[in-house]
């Protein structure tokens, strides 16, 4: 296992009614709050009204309309609002897109230059305005991690940045807020959680037993509860377990101590950068194809662990058959969750595959991935997704 720093810094207020603590939490930072949210789901499901009623003693300035795959233009708008209104704290109410946008607004606030600089170069991030979140969608883990992903559509760039100073101070996780998440977002969110775990599970580090057992448990959580949440959107047990899994999947619990970079995320980020697709849908499409592409004598034992420990397939002497059955189970699971499983279904053809493959290798540094990939490899994986 590699050396690592693990810091579960964020105060997590989990469960029904935890929003009651909101004003106590925000008071720690001051009176002027930037309320950041997306396209309006929080107005339809009542969370917006609840926040307003709890924050009567605060001055609230709104940054609304944050897009899924949040844009740099929206970040810039947020920075201006913070500066004009002397904002003390940013309250992000939404999913990963809203939280990521809030984080970069908080970082760019203290940066003397264009906000895109702190996305392209995380070393430019210094101080960050305090971030508090109310999570309304289980997927990214942004509520408990130091990452943010921002898009610049004019140049087809979707880049991740990170800083310990961007990690939320407090996150409020009420599973009842997930009841209104549309079915496709519920499924895509679970695919994202699973991908965060899978990206680290398949690693050159082979002695991180603790992390792998956490990983298998989180994968089993999604496999058990995603179908229940799809069938019964108001099932508290299902929503609560998925919500907690989202935070645990990308807060360092599974990934710490593992060497090497990720693969499916860099590839998906190019799909989103070119076609603005839902992150989790792209991951569900890419992941099983990537698995098939890298299955070899060198990787088969890990795929056998995955098949047996995650999917409970019967151990057998035919390692490759077992490994392939685990990959089949992965693909079938996403399909059964009604995720479109080809790029064609999303209207994506072959025209930009070469450019996306090259950019994925460059931005994702895929030479350091579990199985190193060059742009020809990524092109072939993308072709398998069409
Ligand atoms: O915008 P509104 O109207 O709020 O609707 C959102 C949006 O359309 C809707 N939604 C969220 N909560 C809802 C709801 N609808 C009804 N009821 C609710 N309770 O769901 C849609 C998707 O929201 P979004 O925030 O985009 O989803 P997600 O949480 O999946 O975030 C995706 C973004 O996060 C990035 C992705 O690349 C993408 O840009 N990621 C961030 C990471 C991180 N910070 O660590 C890691 C991830 O790997 C990922 O890259
Ligand atoms: Zn993700």
Residue 303 belongs to a domain = yes
Kindly identify the ligand whose nearest atom is closest to the C-alpha of 193.
Answer: 2
pLDDT at 293: 98
Query: For residue 312, is it left (φ>0), alpha (ψ between -120 and 50) or beta?
Result: left
CA of 324 to the centre of ligand 1 (A): 31
Which residue among 44, 47, 71, 94 has the greatest number of ligand 1 atoms within 8 angstroms of its CB, and so is best to mutate?
A: 94
Length of the chain: 386
Q: Are 236 and 87 in the same domain?
A: no
The domain tally of the chain equals: 2
Residue 253's domain spans which residues? 183-385
The last residue of one of the domains, among 177, 197, 214, is 177
Please give, one letter per residue, the 3-state secondary structure of 227-275. HHHHHCCCCHHHHHHHHHHHHHHCCCCCCCCCCCECCHHHHHHHHHHHH
- In this structure, the residues whose C-beta lies within 6 A of any atom of ligand 1 are 38-42, 45, 68-69, 94-98, 100, 136-137, 139-142, 145, 147-149, 177-178, 180-182, 185, 189, 192, 250, 265, 279-280
Q: Is residue 6 in a domain?
A: no
Residues at Cβ < 5 Å from ligand 2 ion? 192
**What is the reported pLDDT for 42?**
98
Q: What is the pLDDT of residue 358?
A: 97
Give the pLDDT confidence of 108-133 residue by residue, as tens digits.
999 999 999 999 999 999 999 999 99
The pLDDT tens digits for 285-338 are 999 999 999 999 999 999 999 999 999 999 989 999 999 999 999 999 999 999
| CATH number, position 55 | 3.40.50.1970
In a domain, 119, yes or no: yes
Tell how far the Cα of 83 is from the centroid of ligand 2, in angstroms. Answer: 31
pLDDT band at 159 (very low <50, low <70, confident <90, very high): very high
Percent of the chain with pLDDT over 70: 100
- The 10s digit of each residue's pLDDT in 10-48 is 999 999 999 999 999 999 999 999 999 999 999 999 999
Q: How confident is the model at residue 174 (pLDDT cuts 50, 70, 90)?
A: very high
Q: What are 198-255's pLDDT values in tens digits?
A: 999 999 999 999 999 999 999 999 999 999 999 999 999 999 999 999 999 999 999 9
Centre of ligand 1 from the C-alpha of residue 91, in Å: 16
Q: In the prediction, which pLDDT does 242 show?
A: 98
The structure tokens listed for 217 are 């448990």
Average pLDDT over residues 46-65: 98
Among 143, 163, 185, which is best to mutate for testing ligand 1, by the most ligand atoms less than 8 A from CB? 185
- What's the Cα-to-Cα distance from 10 to each of 167, 257, 278, rounded to whole Å? 7, 20, 26
d(CA 103, CA 117): 14
Residue nearest atom 25 in ligand 1 by C-alpha distance: 95
How do residues 256-299 score in pLDDT, each as one tens digit?
999 989 999 999 999 999 999 999 999 999 999 999 999 999 99
Average pLDDT value over all residues in the chain: 97
If you measure from the C-alpha of residue 370 to the centroid of ligand 2, how many angstroms do you get, rounded to a whole number?
A: 17
Query: Considering the domain boundaries, does residue 4 fall inside one?
Result: no
Give a yes or no: residue 3 inside a domain: no
The CATH code of the domain that includes 318 is 1.20.1090.10
Same domain, 167 and 233: no
Instruction: Confirm whether 2 is domain-assigned.
Output: no
pLDDT at residue 350, rounded to an integer: 97
Judgement on whether residues 254 and 289 belong to the same structural domain of the protein: yes
Closest-approaching ligand to the CA atom of 68 = 1
- Confidence band of 383 (pLDDT split at 50, 70, 90): very high
């Amino acid at each position: 296992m590699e050396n690592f720093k693990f810091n579960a810094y964020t105060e997590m207020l989990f469960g029904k009614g935890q929003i009651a603590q909101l004003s106590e939490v925000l008071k720690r930072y001051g009176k002027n709050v930037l309320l950041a949210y997306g396209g309006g789901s929080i107005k339809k499901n009542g969370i917006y009204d609840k926040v307003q009623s709890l924050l009567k003693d605060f001055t609230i300035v709104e940054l609304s309309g944050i897009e899924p795959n949040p844009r740099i233009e929206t970040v810039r708008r947020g920075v201006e609002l913070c500066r004009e209104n002397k904002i003390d704290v940013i309250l992000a109410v939404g999913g990963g897109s809203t939280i990521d946008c809030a984080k970069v607004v908080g970082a760019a606030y203290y940066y003397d230059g264009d906000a895109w600089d702190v996305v392209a170069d995380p070393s430019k991030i210094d101080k960050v305005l305090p971030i508090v979140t109310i999570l309304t969608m289980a997927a990214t883990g942004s509520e408990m991690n130091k990452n943010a992903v921002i898009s610049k559509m004019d140049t087809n760039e979707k880049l991740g940045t990170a800083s310990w100073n961007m990690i939320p101070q407090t996150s409020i996780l009420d599973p009842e807020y997930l009841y209104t998440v549309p079915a496709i977002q519920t499924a895509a969110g679970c695919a994202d959680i699973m991908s965060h775990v899978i990206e680290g599970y398949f690693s050159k580090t082979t002695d991180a037993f603790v992390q792998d057992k956490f990983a298998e448990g989180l994968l089993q959580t999604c496999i058990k509860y995603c179908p229940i949440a799809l069938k019964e959107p108001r099932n508290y047990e299902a929503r609560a377990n998925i919500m907690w899994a989202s935070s645990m999947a990308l807060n360092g619990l599974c990934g710490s101590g593992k060497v090497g970079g990720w693969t499916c995320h860099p590839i998906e980020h190019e799909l989103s950068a070119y076609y603005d697709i839902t992150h989790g849908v792209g991951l569900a499409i890419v992941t099983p194809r990537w698995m098939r592409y890298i299955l070899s004598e060198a990787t088969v034992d890990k795929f056998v662990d995955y098949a047996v420990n995650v999917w409970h397939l019967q151990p057998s002497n035919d390692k490759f058959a077992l490994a392939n059955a685990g990959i089949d189970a992965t693909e079938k699971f996403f399909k059964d969750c009604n995720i479109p499983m080809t790029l064609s279904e999303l209207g994506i053809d072959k025209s930009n595959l070469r450019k996306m493959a090259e950019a994925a290798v460059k931005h994702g540094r895929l030479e350091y991935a579990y199985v190193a990939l060059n742009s020809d490899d990524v092109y072939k994986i993308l072709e398998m997704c069409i």
